[in-house]
């Protein structure tokens, strides 16, 4: 099958279970001492919650992460009611109170773990599309569709691709098969196995991933056609050959989680390998300066772009900026400087380490920036010539679709890919041995608890599940291609802008006081 | 090179176990007892270090407050005996305004003096009431020093407490002939004050005075709190007086650089009396932040005073109002009223109440304050849990009602303010603002929820039907 069109053969989903013995689940099932091990529950449950071996009569601990919960009550195989000894108890797992946060709720995390495991949408009743933040994407809904608009097409016939080069400047047309690509996570911030598996997944999905600013390890070379070389202010590991390798080069002017501040890698994570790659000293914290010392104006920026274009005549150029008040002007300036992609990184984006005050308070959320820039580019008459990419707090497939309907061509995903690898968002990526779950770590021992094969498949599975959601949205509105969704903000409603009667037709925004 | 402002940060360990957010629960009755894969031995943070050795005793399940939330013990235990809960003690911290996460982070800063840094993105609500409904802007290009974090020492965070003479007059020989009042500058845009309704004792007062000295700022103090032990810190103390007691505290007035006078109907007369005692004194007028605050500010600016200090309640709300407005709106009202009367440059504005985090200081300045008062966070630095027991004369669970080393206490306060200062610089650096004075009232360097909604969502969704933040 050809790449770069809608008939691209998407990779197969393969069941890729949790790495750990006890997956975290929404429900718990407890079996008490009344159980006589009759085996009825194992016979009844089609989801495999009650494992049982033929030659072992004793009851085993239920696999409660497979349980679909109270909605099973309507089924005649509901084990709780059918157990002759009433030995089973079903409850909402109290551990959920300690998992997740306002933006990534416990259910959203568990939902994505399930998608990453199966490649399908969760069967458990999980709210994985809405967070609890009380604003932005969490209050925006797609309008109730007209049933007459429904397109009866299979997912195979739906186009979810995005074109990154709209300039028509003779450089290659680059079409990603999904409207997402991986955000920059530097060598040093994540385990090498995570970096390479993200690149493998990007290759299988015919999209891109990004080196981040920590250099280009040789292990990524086999996937070079799908790896963006990032040039950030620290210029760590940036060399002519890494620019020559890249289908797209990304200038990182700012990062949404810490706009106006440079990158920050705490000393504990600067191992000999990381230090060698970045040409620095082992154990010393690394601060990237801010901003580029060579850029004082759009003209200076253009010199940057021209420099990369001169080195690599085939590379596209992306400009990653944060979201200040004048983000619209910055975007237009970037376009006129020659950028193919203007990448807006909103203030609630992810990071390996940032001051809490910056993450919460600096720059605007991406939900505001997308329509602002989209409309300004339209008014300037250049919207069709530039690819607008959004990131920063885009968590799930519905957020992606909403961002596109607000005006983005596509999005960049970071955190969700790590969640697919069972990140629990504990926030301890930054120091000591780093991530206890082996994701955001440079520790040799911890980094080995993730294998490339496992991680690659989990990421592929998650995106394939997301694609199912996108295809369904497109079908509902009679659209064949996700390109037709770009800027269709007329398909969106915001709960706070509806009168009460109209609002009652839509799912309310989740509201709960959380301990974070 | 000119001397740079430096805050002497030094780790100051807490006296009590810090109350953590989460607790691990362990159902030991199901424990295998001698499992070679015991997750307690594998915990990368070592939180079970002193615990797993005593497994055989099968003690009662215990809370472990040092959990880092990685869930590996929960997920890897061969018997699945671990679970987690929100630490019930954590839930009891503070109140609706002084939330547990605020107190927890203030403790960390008082302990280490470090800016809280974490991985992963922002975890909180999209927007919330008060200061959480505005964002500071950043500049994509313009930087104060062109050198990011390495040039931060060139960012000036001074604010003035003394009045300004404008315009200056010069004689024919170009010598200055204007009568220039004394200049009083604080290198950090905050002053300290112990909250009236909370407990106070000589250890707390001495710690605060010593911290004021260490920070080179001022501590506002009731005259009854003065003692000989505070003599070394006299330069950093400001007595809080009123029209009735100024004549009783002439000695305090004479040895102070500034005095706070409580606003009353005879304030003009009180100001005159104090000036008679010591002419070159910086006068701060303490005024309730109520519906009359803005008009009083205009009125008092024409008097011979230097700084107006407005008191909101301890949660930053307007006083004596049925539907109180928050500090943010009140600062705007007072500041803009002075701007509209063309007299903003003649007076300094300081606001007290509800300043709970470093970002509040930055945002209050953006709204129009010159500086802020830090009150309850001083006690939190001493491990106060804002449980309010002391209001009823009950004992303090953090034992700050007893004796403690004022060196330790002052270091905790200095650490906390040092971390705030660094955070202010982070935000100012991102904004491209070189001086705190230039940040004052600079709303152009901020973005407000209502404005962003109207500008970005208005054209798409029409008129907002829900007012406020619900």
- Searching chain B, which residue's CA lies closest to the CA of residue A325? B137
- Searching chain B, which residue's CA lies closest to the CA of residue A21? B76
The residue-averaged pLDDT of B375-386 equals 97
Give yes or no for residue A449 having a pLDDT over 60.
yes
Contacts of A290 in chain B (CB under 8 A): 143, 148-149, 429
Is there a contact between A21 and B80 if contact means CB atoms under 8 Å apart? yes
Reported as a pLDDT band with limits 50, 70 and 90, residue A2 is very low
Q: B68 or B95: which carries more pLDDT confidence?
A: B95
Is there a contact between A22 and B126 if contact means CB atoms under 8 Å apart? no
**Residues A217-261: tens digit of each pLDDT:** 999 999 999 999 999 988 888 899 999 999 999 999 888 888 888
Give yes or no for residue B469 having a pLDDT over 80.
no
Reported as a pLDDT band with limits 50, 70 and 90, residue B148 is low
Measure the CA–CA gap between B361 and B423, rounded to whole angstroms: 10
**Residues A113-132: tens digit of each pLDDT:** 999 999 999 999 999 999 99
**Residues A50-62: tens digit of each pLDDT:** 998 888 888 888 9
Measure the CA–CA gap between A320 and A338, rounded to whole angstroms: 13
Report the 10 Å Cβ neighbour count for B386: 24
Give yes or no for residue B66 having a pLDDT over 80.
no
| DSSP designation for B138 | -
Measure the CA–CA gap between A324 and B333, rounded to whole angstroms: 26
Give residue limits of the domains in chain B: 22-86, 148-451
pLDDT of amino acid B144: 53
Reported as a pLDDT band with limits 50, 70 and 90, residue B399 is very high
- Specify whether the CB–CB gap between B352 and B193 falls below 8 A: yes
Residue of B86, B24, B117 whose CA lies nearest to A427: B117
Does B142 sit behind a cis peptide bond, omega within 30 degrees of 0 on the bond before it?
Answer: no
- CATH code 3.30.70.20 for B22-86: yes
pLDDT of amino acid B290: 97
Is there a contact between A359 and B121 if contact means CB atoms under 8 Å apart? yes
pLDDT of amino acid A460: 98
Give yes or no for residue B289 having a pLDDT over 50.
yes
- Searching chain B, which residue's CA lies closest to the CA of residue A261? B430
Reported as a pLDDT band with limits 50, 70 and 90, residue B53 is low
pLDDT of amino acid B30: 81
Q: Which domains does chain A have, with CATH numbers?
A: 27-92 (3.30.70.20), 147-485 (3.20.20.70)
Strands A162-163 and A175-176: antiparallel
Q: Flag whether residue A343 sits within 8 Å of chain B, measured between CB atoms.
A: no
Residue A136 is nearest to which of B126, B137, B147, comparing CB atoms?
B126
- Specify whether the CB–CB gap between A349 and A261 falls below 8 A: no
The residue-averaged pLDDT of A135-139 equals 96
**Residues A65-95: tens digit of each pLDDT:** 999 999 999 999 999 999 999 999 999 999 9
Measure the CA–CA gap between B470 and A139, rounded to whole angstroms: 11
Q: What percent of chain A has pLDDT over 70?
A: 98
pLDDT of amino acid B51: 63
- Specify whether the CB–CB gap between B398 and B378 falls below 8 A: no
Reported as a pLDDT band with limits 50, 70 and 90, residue A1 is very low
Is there a contact between A496 and B105 if contact means CB atoms under 8 Å apart? no
Q: Flag whether residue A21 sits within 8 Å of chain B, measured between CB atoms.
A: yes
The residue-averaged pLDDT of B216-223 equals 97
Contacts of A24 in chain B (CB under 8 A): 71, 74-75
- Specify whether the CB–CB gap between B415 and B381 falls below 8 A: yes
- Chain A nearest C-alpha distance from B139 (Å): 7
Contacts of A360 in chain B (CB under 8 A): 122, 124, 132, 359
Is there a contact between B45 and A493 if contact means CB atoms under 8 Å apart? no
Residue A324 is nearest to which of B68, B138, B362, comparing CB atoms?
B138
pLDDT of amino acid B60: 47
CA geometry: angle B372, B367, B425, nearest 5 deg? 65
Contacts of B146 in chain A (CB under 8 A): 293
pLDDT of amino acid A15: 96
- In chain B, the N- to C-terminal Cα span, in Å, equals 52
> What is the number of residues in chain B?
470
Question: Could you report the predicted ipTM of this complex, rounded to two decimals?
Answer: 0.92
pLDDT of amino acid B61: 42
Reported as a pLDDT band with limits 50, 70 and 90, residue A291 is confident
Taking all residues of chain A, what is their mean pLDDT, rounded to a whole number? 92
Residue of A356, A428, A360, A423 whose CA lies nearest to A395: A423
- Chain B nearest C-alpha distance from A351 (Å): 5
Give yes or no for residue A298 having a pLDDT over 70.
yes
- CATH code 3.90.550.10 for B148-451: no
**Residue B258 forms beta bridges with which residues?**
B282
DSSP-based three-state secondary structure for B207: helix
Residue B452 is nearest to which of A61, A364, A436, comparing CB atoms?
A364
Q: B141 or B31: which carries more pLDDT confidence?
A: B31
The residues near B400 (Cβ < 8 Å, ≥ 6 apart) are B199, B201, B203, B204, B379, B382, B383, B384
Is there a contact between B359 and A357 if contact means CB atoms under 8 Å apart? yes
pLDDT of amino acid B4: 82
Ramachandran region of residue A398, left (φ > 0), alpha (ψ -120 to 50) or beta?
A: alpha
The residue-averaged pLDDT of A398-424 equals 97
Q: Which residue has the tokens 């932005």?
A: A136
């Amino acid at each position: 099958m050809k790449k770069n069109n809608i008939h691209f053969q998407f990779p197969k989903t393969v069941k890729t279970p949790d790495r750990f013995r006890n997956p975290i689940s929404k429900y718990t099932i407890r079996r008490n001492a009344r159980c006589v091990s009759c085996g009825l529950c194992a016979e009844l449950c089609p989801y495999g919650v009650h494992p049982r071996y033929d030659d072992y009569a004793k009851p085993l601990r239920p696999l409660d992460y497979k349980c679909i919960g109270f909605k099973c009550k309507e089924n005649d195989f509901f084990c709780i009611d059918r157990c002759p000894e009433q030995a089973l108890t079903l409850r909402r797992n109290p551990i959920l109170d300690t998992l997740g946060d306002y933006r990534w709720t416990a259910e959203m995390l568990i939902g994505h773990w399930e998608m990453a495991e199966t490649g399908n949408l969760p069967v458990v009743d999980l709210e994985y599309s809405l967070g609890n933040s009380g604003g932005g994407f969490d209050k925006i809904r797609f309008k109730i569709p007209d049933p007459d608009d429904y397109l009866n097409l299979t997912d195979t016939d739906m186009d979810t691709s995005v074109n990154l080069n709209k300039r028509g400047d003779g450089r290659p047309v680059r079409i990603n098969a999904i409207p997402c690509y991986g955000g920059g996570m530097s060598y040093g911030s994540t385990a090498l196995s995570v970096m390479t598996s993200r690149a493998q997944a990007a290759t299988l999905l015919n999209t891109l991933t990004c080196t981040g600013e920590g250099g280009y390890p040789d292990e990524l070379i086999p996937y070079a056609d799908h790896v963006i070389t990032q040039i950030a202010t620290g210029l760590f590991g940036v060399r002519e050959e890494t620019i020559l390798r890249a289908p797209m080069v990304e200038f990182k002017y700012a990062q949404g989680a810490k706009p106006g501040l440079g990158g920050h890698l705490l000393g504990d994570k600067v191992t000999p390998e990381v230090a060698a790659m970045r040409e620095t000293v082992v154990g010393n914290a690394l601060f990237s300066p801010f901003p580029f010392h060579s850029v004082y104006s759009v003209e200076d920026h253009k010199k940057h772009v021209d420099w990369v274009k001169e080195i690599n005549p085939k590379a596209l150029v992306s400009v990653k900026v944060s979201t200040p008040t004048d983000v619209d002007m910055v975007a237009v300036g970037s376009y006129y400087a020659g950028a193919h992609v203007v990448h807006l990184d909103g203030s609630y984006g992810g990071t390996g380490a940032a001051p809490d005050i910056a993450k919460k308070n600096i720059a605007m959320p991406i939900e505001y920036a997308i329509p602002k820039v989209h409309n300004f580019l339209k008014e300037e008459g250049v919207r069709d010539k530039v690819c607008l990419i959004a990131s920063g707090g885009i968590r799930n497939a519905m957020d992606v679709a909403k961002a596109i309907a607000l005006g983005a061509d596509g999005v960049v995903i970071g955190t969700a890919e790590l969640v697919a690898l069972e990140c629990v968002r504990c926030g301890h990526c930054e120091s000591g041995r780093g991530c206890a779950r082996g994701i955001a770590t440079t520790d040799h021992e911890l980094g080995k608890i993730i294998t490339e094969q496992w991680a690659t498949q989990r990421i592929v599975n998650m995106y394939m599940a997301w694609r199912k959601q996108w295809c369904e949205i497109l079908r509902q509105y009679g659209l064949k291609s996700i390109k037709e969704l770009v800027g269709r903000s007329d398909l969106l409603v915001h709960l706070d802008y509806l009168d009460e009667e109209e609002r009652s037709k839509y799912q309310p925004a989740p509201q709960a006081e959380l301990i974070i | 090179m000119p001397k740079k402002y430096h805050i002497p940060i030094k780790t100051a360990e807490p006296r009590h176990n810090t109350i953590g957010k989460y607790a691990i629960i362990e159902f030991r009755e199901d424990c295998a007892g001698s499992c070679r894969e015991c997750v307690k031995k594998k915990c990368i943070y070592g939180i079970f270090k002193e615990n797993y050795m005593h497994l055989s005793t099968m003690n009662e399940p215990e809370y472990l407050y040092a959990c880092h939330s990685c869930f590996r013990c929960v997920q890897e235990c061969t018997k699945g005996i671990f679970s987690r809960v929100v630490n019930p003690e954590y839930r009891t911290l503070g109140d609706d305004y002084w939330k547990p996460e605020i107190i927890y982070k203030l403790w960390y800063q008082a302990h280490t003096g470090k800016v809280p840094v974490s991985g992963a993105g922002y975890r909180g609500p999209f927007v919330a009431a008060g200061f959480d409904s505005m964002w500071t802007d950043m500049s994509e290009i313009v930087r104060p020093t062109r050198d990011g974090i390495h040039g931060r020492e060139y960012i000036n965070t001074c604010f003035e407490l003394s009045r300004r003479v404008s315009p200056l007059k010069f004689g024919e020989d170009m010598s200055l002939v204007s009568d220039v009042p004394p200049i009083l500058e604080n290198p950090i845009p905050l002053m300290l004050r112990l909250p009236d309704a909370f407990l106070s004792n000589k250890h707390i007062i001495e710690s605060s005075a010593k911290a004021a000295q260490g920070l080179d700022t001022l501590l506002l103090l009731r005259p009854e709190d003065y003692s000989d032990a505070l003599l070394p810190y006299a330069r950093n103390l400001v007595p809080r007086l009123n029209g009735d007691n100024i004549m009783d505290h002439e000695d305090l007035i004479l040895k102070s650089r500034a005095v706070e006078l409580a606003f009353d109907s005879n304030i003009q007369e009180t100001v005159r009396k104090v000036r008679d005692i010591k002419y070159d004194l910086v006068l701060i007028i303490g005024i309730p932040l109520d519906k009359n605050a803005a008009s009083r500010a205009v009125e008092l600016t024409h008097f011979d005073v230097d700084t107006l200090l407005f008191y909101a309640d301890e949660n930053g709300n307007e006083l004596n109002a049925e539907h109180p407005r928050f500090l943010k709106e009140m600062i705007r009202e007072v500041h803009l009223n002075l701007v509209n009367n063309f007299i903003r440059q003649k007076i300094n504005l300081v606001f007290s109440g509800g300043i709970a985090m470093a970002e509040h200081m930055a945002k209050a300045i953006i709204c129009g304050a010159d500086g802020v008062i830090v009150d309850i966070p001083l006690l939190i630095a001493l491990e106060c849990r804002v449980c309010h027991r002391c209001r009823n004369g009950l004992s303090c669970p953090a034992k700050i009602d007893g004796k403690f080393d004022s060196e330790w206490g002052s270091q905790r306060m200095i650490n906390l303010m040092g971390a705030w200062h660094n955070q202010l610089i982070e935000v100012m650096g991102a904004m491209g603002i070189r001086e705190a004075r230039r940040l004052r009232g600079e709303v152009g360097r901020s973005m407000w929820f209502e404005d962003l909604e109207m500008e970005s969502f208005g054209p798409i969704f029409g008129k907002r039907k829900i007012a406020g933040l619900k």
